[in-house]
Amino acid sequence: MAGSKSEAAADAIATEPLIALLREIADGSGGLVQLRPGLSDARMDAWAAPVPEEIRVLLRAVGGLRIAFGRRKDDGTFLYSEIDFDESLNEGTHPMGGDGSWYVAAAGGPGTHRFVHLDSGGGFTYVDVDRETGSWGPVFIFWDDNDTTRLDSSLHAWLHRTARCLREALRDADADAHGFDSAFTETWTEPHRNAPQVPTIPAVEARTSPDPVLRSAAAALPDDGALADLREVDGAAVVIFDFPELCRFGRAHAGTILTAVPAVPDVDH
């Protein structure tokens, strides 16, 4: 998915150098960082939306990252958190077992996004996907609440920032797993903590906006829906939708307009 800033990010962070950087970091990490095996075209063909070639090149080489956060008490081997581009939640199966379809719906429904990381704090990180073209856009994270954060302009940009955080943490940790985890988490989660907040606009108000992009996005929302304009955002941004209940997120205009509608209690969760 390509707005002007997403296009700039994709141009600035080429795929092959990014793959080389991730491999270099994993190879020099002493096992603290591992790359997951690449994904086959047949596997990506089975996904709900077509996968663009630039994403296929990346995912054929790197299926995700395993990042150490400690060691097991019994044998001293590393414990890992996962960035997984083939996360089972994308098919509605929660990795801890059970039905995960609510989270698929909360992020916009099948084929509109790709979950890439589930964290221990209950965060669900996903990449926006255009259901028709398959283009991949900005990266977001949400929790079981109505707040969400736009983390970066593209998967490439998010991974490049992740790589920089990993490299700095490896330099500072001196092969200690806990020190590495602490240093990495501190810098990697900084956008969650310090991002500026973008205001939301009720759908009924946005329908009368002089901006055709806002009018178009609002036209697809019910009267109780809302949206946030992220077109001028450079980097991370927080959006909080003021609904009395949980909401479902969506995106429009290459992922630069974030939308939300109230979820139906006891049915959607």
pLDDT tens, residue by residue, 101-123: 999 999 999 999 999 999 988 89
Residues of the chain with pLDDT under 70: 1-12, 265-269
Strands 124-129 and 237-240: unpaired
* Residue 45 near residue 183 (C-beta atoms within 8 A): no
Instruction: Return d(Cα 39, Cα 260) in angstroms, integer.
Output: 32
Q: What pLDDT, on the 0 to 100 scale, is given for residue 8?
A: 46
Instruction: Return d(Cα 141, Cα 127) in angstroms, integer.
Output: 9
* Residue 253 near residue 227 (C-beta atoms within 8 A): no
The CATH number of 4-195, from 3.30.43.10, 3.20.20.10, 3.40.190.10, 3.40.1580.10, is 3.40.1580.10
pLDDT tens, residue by residue, 206-251: 999 999 999 999 999 999 999 999 999 988 999 999 998 899 999 9
Q: What pLDDT, on the 0 to 100 scale, is given for residue 265?
A: 57
Nearest to 47 by CA among 95, 85, 96: 85
Instruction: Return d(Cα 118, Cα 157) in angstroms, integer.
Output: 19
**Residue appearing with tokens 């969760």:** 269
The count of other CB atoms within 10 Å of the CB of residue 14 is 13
Sequence-distant (6+) residues with CB within 8 A of 29 are 166, 170
Q: What pLDDT, on the 0 to 100 scale, is given for residue 264?
A: 73
* Residue 238 near residue 97 (C-beta atoms within 8 A): no
H helix or E strand, kind and range, residue 48: none
* Residue 133 near residue 143 (C-beta atoms within 8 A): no
